[in-house]
Amino acid sequence: MHDDLFGDLFGAPSPRPAKAASESPASSEPPARQRGGIHPAAWGEDLQALAARLPATLRLGTSSWSYPGWQGLLWQGAHSEQLLAKKGLAVYAGHPLLRTVSIDRGFYRPLSASDYARYAAQVPEGFRFVVKAPSLVTDALVRGDDGRARESNPAFLDPGLATQEFVAPALEGLGAATGALIFQLSPLPWRLLDRLPEVLERLRALLRAQPALNQPDAVLAVEVRDGAWLAPEHVAHFADVLKSAGATYCLGLHPRLPPLLDQLPLLRLLWPGPLVCRWNLHAVHGPQGYADAQRLYAPYDRIHDPDPDTHALLARTLAGVCGRGQNAFVTISNHAEGCAPLTVRRLAEQVVAQQLSHQ
């Protein structure tokens, strides 16, 4: 079964569960005008039909929703980033393919339960959020405004702070809209990479100290920024840490990490379970390439650097995981190919194609 899901072979999936009425794609008629004067784009019947053929357990989305360059893709007319940040989520969540979104701002400053509740109030039933933990507990270093390390972080992997500043307020505010709560661990200094087994045990203590999630689709996930976590001498230990806490690994599609194919062995060790993936940055830009991607891709209104190999393997993996009834959360950055909503559509088309080829 593991080879069927994550390798070159693909077994016959289980029947796809039907979407509940509350989760059906939006009508082909555009929703009513939103507060703040933001009108949804005209989403055609082809988009509605594509969404209806996706697995009910698959939630695709983007990193945030406040990009003016998505004019014509998500909304009509020109709007400022500030207005979209405040009023654009309700329009975003009405898009047939977008059933999750990554809230990244909490990485820089912890959010309150009321912050999360305001987000949850703007989305339909069935929508789920992917949320990043604050760097307060996920970065081993305290950094200045320029991102450079200043000193060691005494709160790194602090279980109590993780609960207080992240897991508890997210669960309280998001409620049933809670999806993946991600601890994205920033690049480690060499002194900790050399003691990775000790760091793994600290991670185990953090994960096991978190409260019961008690929401239908909520899952704790860990994303890393060093390939050493996935090295043969550490991957079994990493899997054991995650399994002991009921957590999962977040596939990080980022040049700092091995390619997707080389991350799948960890998912084999965690199977069965949900899949979480964040497609962060195209490999052509290198580990420090966010600034280059931003310069080349803005205003994020078209695909610049297609990545068909990643699409094909990720679609095959998603079709296998969701075909067996497991949840999958995938969020995509504009820095992946140039325009996250268009990347989502391409990925959705390939997932459907995978399903058809194995019926």
Q: Tell me: the pLDDT tens digits for 227-278?
A: 999 999 999 999 999 999 999 999 999 999 999 999 999 999 999 999 999 9
Domains of the chain: 2-357 (3.20.20.410)
Give the single-character DSSP code of 289. T
Residue owning tokens 């079964």: 1
Q: CA 258 to CA 90: how far, in whole Å?
A: 36
Is the pTM higher than 0.85?
Answer: yes
Give the single-character DSSP code of 169. H
Confidence band of 323 (pLDDT split at 50, 70, 90): very high
In contact, 91 and 38? CB cutoff 8 Å: yes
Q: Is the pLDDT of residue 146 over 80?
A: no
Confidence band of 291 (pLDDT split at 50, 70, 90): very high
